[in-house]
């Protein structure tokens, strides 16, 4: 519900943004007619059409996740054309002539039809045309919705969120229509002055394109925006819970009642996997009669990795008693969609049960899941009887398995609970963790303290040092993207002031896949006995593939420390810190 309110408020704010200007002539052309029969149907048609078209466009843009290496170049070309169209009105007119002609034809037909009778359909038809033409600014709020749609695929929820956004814009326009001719006159004056503003902005766009193409420092340019609502929208996003576009979060805790196993619903389909490991493709129908445990995980998620030894132990203990364990690998980062990477992780982690590769989040959405890890317990009749989100309470989960096996008719169900002695990354976390999971990409970054803040999607020289607990900083030349930061020149570093026993960092060697050497320090010194599984006592290590690296495991008391990792080669990509 909060997301829908946020989307609506984001749409309301478009009335003070230049991106609403293109639709004003169509909307106010009928301002002299009764609102209920003309203005309201027009705005409703606009909102509904935009929601449908934007949903299709957002889902169709999912290719960019896999093709982000080329997306930057395509974006430069597209923005250059846009800048030229702003500078030269003739070019803009030529590019938009087919759409404008369509809008004018529909508008004329609506007026002609309206003369004969007081029907709402002509105005509704005009609204459909406006919805096809309208392309609002993708500020923080709309960006959340479109990003979620691109990553997670088509869904009714995405369309409803876009409809809420469009309804907010329609509400603003309705208020403007009802306010009368003074508002309309002011809007027309702004449109007249906007011609020179448009040309000036076009020149700035072309300058920015040239600077980015040449790799120049464009930090100042990236802070300029023609939209006046960005700061307000971002405050709304923060007020409504921050990173709403990624509802999928690591969870700790969950249900603990193994005695009252009510039916929570039927097991959804598991047919949407793009590949299966350790098994042929399984279906819901052939699993009936079996007790099934579905484990949603991803191989760079520390919470998932710490739960895996228990899941593997259950799979082995109860495999001859009627239990089928299925790991559903739903990626968080783009590199986790690489099936070869997942195969390597499955082998390295010793996973023997079937793993469904859910790159399109089909199974994730079918279960309406929102967490990593998430465990769903299904009885022999195909009913979901229990769920648990996050780590811990493994004894409760195992008792659920035993009870469901007994209900299925197994009279010799194994008793007791498994004893797991995990080591390395999979070891149980410390009870004194005071540092949260921290993302490096700007989409979800927090507590970033390098001077000037993050400069998005362009190379930039960063300096800074963390001062307070959970602050972090970059030093050197980096490019910060929504998902990660990439080092452009050797010698760059990341520093983090943390309080935890373990420190992990999700890293990858970059597009060229060349190994990247690094060296870590704790409070300016080599880690010694406090080194992690992926470093030695001197603090040295190598990033050879995309995964979670354990860099620190302290053996003494847990206190505040400043961690620093320096990369001796360029190209590394840093995604997220996790702690244990």
Residue 54 has pLDDT above 90, yes or no: no
pLDDT band at 551 (very low <50, low <70, confident <90, very high): very high
Q: Cα 319–324–328 angle (5° rounding)? A: 135
Tell me, letter by letter, the H, E, C secondary structure of 443-504: CCECCECCCCCCCECCEEEECCCCCCCCCEEEEEEEEECCCCEEECCCCCEEEEEECCCEEE
C-alpha–C-alpha distance, residues 126 and 311, integer Å: 57
CB of 527 within 8 A of CB of 535?
yes
C-alpha–C-alpha distance, residues 208 and 213, integer Å: 9
Residue 258 has pLDDT above 60, yes or no: no
**CATH architecture entry for 253-426:** 3-Layer(aba) Sandwich (3.40)
> Exposed, middle or buried, 154 (CB in 10 Å: 0-12/13-18/19+)?
middle
Superfamily of domain 438-579 in the CATH hierarchy: Galactose-binding domain-like (2.60.120.260)
Q: In terms of pLDDT, which residue wins out, 256 or 422? A: 422
The per-residue pLDDT for 43 is 80
Domain ranges in the chain?
2-239, 253-426, 438-579
The per-residue pLDDT for 239 is 53
Name 217's bridge partners. none
The per-residue pLDDT for 83 is 58
CB of 126 within 8 A of CB of 43?
no
The per-residue pLDDT for 350 is 93
- Min mean pLDDT across 128-137, 192-201, 481-490, 522-531 is at 192-201
The per-residue pLDDT for 234 is 47
User: For a pLDDT cut of 90, what percent of the chain falls above it?
Assistant: 47
C-alpha–C-alpha distance, residues 474 and 187, integer Å: 45
pLDDT band at 150 (very low <50, low <70, confident <90, very high): very low
pLDDT band at 131 (very low <50, low <70, confident <90, very high): low
Report the 10 Å Cβ neighbour count for 555: 9
Q: Which residues contact 350 (CB under 8 A, 6 or more apart)?
A: 312
The per-residue pLDDT for 162 is 74
Residue 290 has pLDDT above 80, yes or no: yes
- Min mean pLDDT across 55-69, 130-144, 154-168, 540-554 is at 55-69
The per-residue pLDDT for 60 is 47
The per-residue pLDDT for 217 is 34
The per-residue pLDDT for 444 is 87
pLDDT band at 560 (very low <50, low <70, confident <90, very high): very high
DSSP string, 201-212: HHHHHHHHHHHH
Name 214's bridge partners. none
The per-residue pLDDT for 521 is 98
Q: In terms of pLDDT, which residue wins out, 168 or 92? A: 168
> Minimal CA–CA distance to 390: which of 267, 307, 500?
307
Question: For the residues 171-189, what does the mean pLDDT come to?
Answer: 63
Q: What is the pTM of this model?
A: 0.60
* Torsions phi, psi for 196 (to 5 deg): -75, -35
C-alpha–C-alpha distance, residues 145 and 158, integer Å: 7
Residue 323 has pLDDT above 90, yes or no: yes
Residue 459 has pLDDT above 80, yes or no: yes
The per-residue pLDDT for 124 is 75
The per-residue pLDDT for 431 is 79
pLDDT band at 72 (very low <50, low <70, confident <90, very high): very low
List Cα–Cα distances, 260 to 255, 263, 402, in angstroms. 11, 10, 14
Residue 452 has pLDDT above 80, yes or no: yes
The per-residue pLDDT for 92 is 58
As a whole number, the mean pLDDT across the chain is 78
Tokens of 295: 């484990």
What digits encode the pLDDT tens for the residues 181-239?
Answer: 555 555 555 545 545 555 665 676 566 556 555 544 333 332 333 334 445 554 554 45
Helix (H) or strand (E) holding 163: helix 156-179
C-alpha–C-alpha distance, residues 401 and 324, integer Å: 10
Residue 558 has pLDDT above 60, yes or no: yes
Tokens of 124: 């509704």
C-alpha–C-alpha distance, residues 206 and 121, integer Å: 43
Residue 362 has pLDDT above 70, yes or no: yes
Peptide bond before 373: cis, by omega within 30 degrees of 0? yes
Q: Which residues contact 1 (CB under 8 A, 6 or more apart)?
A: none
C-alpha–C-alpha distance, residues 191 and 422, integer Å: 66
> Minimal CA–CA distance to 212: which of 27, 455, 514?
455
* Torsions phi, psi for 537 (to 5 deg): -60, -25
């Amino acid at each position: 519900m909060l997301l829908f309110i946020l989307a609506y408020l984001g749409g309301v704010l478009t009335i003070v943004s230049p991106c609403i200007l293109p639709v004003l002539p169509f909307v106010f052309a009928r301002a002299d007619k009764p609102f209920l029969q003309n203005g309201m149907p027009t705005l409703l048609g606009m909102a509904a059409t935009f929601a449908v078209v934007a949903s299709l466009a957002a889902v169709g843009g999912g290719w960019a996740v896999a093709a982000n290496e080329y997306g930057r170049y395509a974006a430069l070309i597209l923005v250059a054309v846009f800048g030229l169209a702003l500078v030269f009105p003739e070019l803009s007119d030529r590019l938009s002539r087919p759409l404008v002609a369509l809008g004018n034809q529909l508008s004329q037909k609506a007026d002609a039809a309206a003369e004969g009778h007081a029907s709402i359909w002509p105005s509704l038809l005009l609204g459909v045309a406006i919805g096809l033409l309208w392309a609002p600014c993708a500020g923080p709020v709309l960006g959340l919705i479109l990003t979620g749609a691109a990553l997670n695929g088509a869904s009714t929820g995405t369309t409803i969120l876009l409809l809420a956004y469009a309804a907010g814009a329609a509400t603003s326009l309705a208020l403007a229509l009802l306010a009368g001719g003074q508002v309309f006159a002011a809007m027309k004056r702004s449109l007249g002055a906007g011609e020179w503003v448009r040309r000036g902005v076009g020149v700035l766009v072309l300058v920015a394109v040239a600077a980015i193409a040449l790799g120049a420092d464009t930090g100042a340019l990236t802070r300029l925006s023609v939209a006046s609502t960005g700061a307000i929208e971002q405050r709304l996003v923060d007020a409504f819970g921050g990173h709403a576009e990624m509802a999928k979060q690591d969870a700790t805790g969950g249900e603990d009642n193994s005695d009252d196993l009510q039916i929570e619903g039927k097991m959804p389909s598991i047919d949407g996997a793009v590949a299966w490991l350790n098994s042929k493709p399984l279906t819901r129908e052939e699993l009936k009669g079996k007790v099934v445990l579905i484990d949603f995980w991803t191989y760079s998620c520390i919470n998932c990795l710490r739960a895996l030894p228990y899941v593997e132990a259950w799979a082995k203990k109860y495999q001859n008693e009627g239990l089928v364990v299925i790991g559903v690998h739903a990626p968080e980062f783009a590199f986790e969609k690489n099936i070869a990477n997942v195969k390597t992780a499955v082998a390295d982690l010793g996973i023997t049960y079937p793993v469904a590769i859910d790159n399109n989040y089909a199974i994730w959405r079918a279960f309406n899941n929102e967490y990593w890890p998430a465990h769903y317990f299904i009885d022999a009749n195909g009913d979901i009887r229990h769920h648990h989100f996050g780590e811990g309470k493994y004894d409760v989960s195992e008792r659920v398995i035993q009870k469901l096996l007994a209900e299925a008719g197994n009279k010799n169900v194994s008793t007791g609970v498994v004893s797991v002695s995990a080591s390395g990354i999979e070891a149980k976390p410390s009870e004194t963790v005071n540092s949260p999971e921290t993302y490096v990409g700007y989409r979800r970054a927090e507590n970033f303290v390098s001077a000037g803040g993050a400069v998005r999607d362009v190379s930039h020289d960063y300096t800074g040092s963390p001062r307070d607990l959970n602050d972090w900083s970059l030093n050197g030349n980096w490019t910060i993207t929504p998902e990660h930061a990439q080092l452009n020149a050797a010698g760059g570093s990341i520093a983090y002031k943390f309080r935890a026993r373990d420190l992990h960092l999700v890293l990858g060697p970059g597009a060229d896949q060349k190994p990247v050497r690094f060296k870590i320090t704790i409070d300016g010194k080599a880690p010694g006995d406090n080194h992690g599984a992926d470093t030695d006592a001197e603090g040295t290590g190598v990033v050879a593939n995309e995964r979670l690296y354990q860099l620190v495991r302290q053996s003494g008391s847990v206190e505040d420390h400043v961690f620093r990792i320096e990369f001796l080669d360029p190209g590394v990509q840093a995604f997220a810190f996790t702690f244990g």
